[in-house]
Structure 1
């Protein structure tokens, strides 16, 4: 097999370039208040050297087994594989992590109640605790049948809009969809006693396509057909699109937040200037936390810029909890849902006249930021090394960028200047009509999805009873996940289909080692 290493892509989107040239590069960092030490020329050269994809597949790259840098945790053989704190936390930080874990697992109750610290659920919601979606900090799953609920899945709603960009600082430039006029931005399938829920999420599965791989193996892909039934407040707007999404795993999020924005943006090539068929884009989104545009890093469409905003958004839409970033106590209820907006709430002076105080939100954010990445397995195994070579040579690293070095941070030593191996470029890519749900997010279209990090793939089965992949859990195996790649991923998918069986098996072994 001829070695062909795909070079990192170059180029900036017009929006990103305009931000850089206008002197607002700080708008792309994960927190304008964070103290980032600029890299020296010597450091930049070292970083380029260690993050350039290898051409030697006879042995593991130094430190490759430490996927999460110095904070990498042991690879356990049980369901706790994603629930360990980064190994490099101090004693005080470990205690803070434990308190945040308690809040992450807290079961919220219907207001008013005597339990002020847990008061404020709903009025309509999807789950009563963060942990109920991110079970053991792992992935959620799509309903497997009529008797399985959508407890670890949410359905986003929206009507696409097409604003005319005029001012890069205008919020409207970063809004691509408005909520359903009655049901809002997220469908709530649960409600407190006495309140009508919005309805029930159901899915049926049908065979979408049968693919014959080189060597004769056949794989049947399944396609979900989603339905929102028993609607409690009348029909959806005819223009409303629905986008079901399973909860993602929680590991390594603080390390992703610490990657320099310019390193992610440098991989973008929206016009495919290098002609490799890959045109990933940075999703610039509006930060309600800092009132400025920022680089989106989190979520299936990279539509959220910071972990604190992600936590606040989940409290708001998933549980119906008021926080400093979403101070209204009725969650995602719209003006049309007057009963919901007039329901009792859990606002209290003890919680800063909110339902989750700023301090509590910070603790949950700290917990989310510091869940450790498990060590890689079998990095020197000959089959795994061969599978890595196949992964690189079929062009998978055009999107799944192997490694980064995080920023040097003055106040987050645990994420500072770490060599990490997420295997993602954190850009959004057009994945073709088969995965297009028609609902854009920020500057990402309905066919564009963020490249998911691959670290932890090999222990997903230990954490999650249902090991599903892709944004809506349609892929039951890693092979199915690859075969759903279209658009910019089609060439890599086609190369996978043509691989001899032993090469495909090696590639899967490599993915399972992550």
Structure 2
């Protein structure tokens, strides 16, 4: 069995120096804002240090996350405005219990938790007929101005190819590679240079803490030209902050599309549910979707579907949605896996910790030592995961490093699990084996470990 030292090409003494001493703080990945109890049936818990009176706003915001929206006009004035085109009727549909929705099974139409961005191959843009995201559902309205019903844009059927492989020690493994078949497009064909990119909705806990990391701390990790020659080229997607109009780091979304958590939530409202809001006030209907535009004009309110007060409540709920506690990190097996995490250089992209800014708008999230295990940067993950499209500065093979906190609780809390941007990985092990590009060397170091070592690393990841 090859040792980790031989696999990484450095001495055991040098590797030992790269592994920081374990700290009890790691058991509280959200700092004082960590959830007060370990998640059992749901990830929906307010930050542990939020005063009781402010928790009332959290639960008010949660009601707009949980409850379904209906088409306008309707008797329920705080809940109407759905569509005209949409992917789901509520946030909870895709982010089940604050985690991830169910992944697609082979041969099924994509469920709401698996949506599809429409990208261009050579430039940043959207499809002229369908916009930036495929929306399979449409509202049903009866109105004298509507001569034709609004039609959902189309569906996607998911299939998987099984790929067999072997570790160097002869242990077999299998991966599944998804493919997508577009069905029942309602507004003609996509443009010739349009490609689809699958996005399996992420867990939403801890996003306020990610929002509270300073841009200065993130930019300090950028290394586009790989000047330190470690083979890793961290790059940040620069996007427009809708509120300020200024370029900012895109820290949310699988390609880093949104600069702030508020913007991410507002974008999900308009693209996923069809709810216009203070940041995105225009419906997503394209110029060829005439019934969609007519349906949007029927709303007698003539205002945003979600006013600023409700938008702010939903944003606040997202900000203080607590990270779950870490679990068995001080056991021998977890400490062995933790050492391997550093020795294999996983921490270079999955940056373990930060201290959040002192001036973040939510006091409970200020100056917290957190352990998200992400640099929030784009990295080339290889052709195996590439989508061939562009999203601002993000190329087809580049994906934002996802946070790892709570990753081991999916099965326990939700009864199922799936990983990576499109849900193709059924286990954490499979997710590691899909790593390519800049992460290819680290993947092969992992493959060269003994079975016990691989199990220890995965055990550590399940505890953080």
The question of a shared fold, defined as TM-score above 0.5 by the shorter chain, is answered with yes
Per the TM alignment, residue 416 of structure 1 is displaced from its structure 2 partner at its CA by: 0.5
What is the rounded CA distance, in whole Å, between the counterparts of 2:155 and 2:413 in structure 1? 27
Query: For 1:99-498, what aligned pairs fall within 5 Å after superposition?
Result: 99-147=60-108, 149-162=110-123, 177-193=124-140, 194-207=149-162, 209-328=163-282, 331-344=283-296, 347=299, 353-409=303-359, 411-498=361-448
**TM-score when normalising by structure 2:** 0.92
Report if the CA contact (8 A) 1:112-1:344 is conserved.
no
Match of 1:90 among 51, 56, 59: 51
**TM-score between both structures, scaled by the size of structure 1:** 0.84
In structure 2, the partner of 1:46 is none
Q: Is the contact made by 1:347 and 1:354 (CA closer than 8 Å) also made in structure 2?
A: no
Give CA deviations for 1:194-220 in whole Å, capped at 9, x if unaligned. 32111112110002x322124321111
Partners of 2:376 and 2:399 in 1: CA distance: 9
Q: Deviations over 1:254-278 (max 9, x none)?
A: 1101111111111111111111100
Alignment partners' CA distance in 1, 2:199 and 2:95:
12
Look up the SS of the partner of 1:385 in the other structure: helix
Deviation, structure 1 residue 424: 0.6
- For the 8 Å contact 2:39–2:324, the answer to whether it is kept is no
Structure 2 residues without counterparts, runs of 5 or longer:
6-11, 141-148
Shift of 1:360: 0.8
CA root-mean-square deviation: 1.8
Aligned to 2:145: none
Distance in 1, Cα, partners of 2:44 & 2:13: 38
Q: Residue 409 of structure 2: SS of its match in structure 1?
A: helix
Per-residue CA deviation, residues 244-263 of structure 1 (Å, 9 max, x unaligned), is 10110011111101111111
Displacement of 1:353 after TM fit?
1.6
Matched residues, number: 446
Match of 2:20 among 41, 47, 55: 55
Structure 1 residue ranges without an equivalent (≥5): 8-52, 163-176
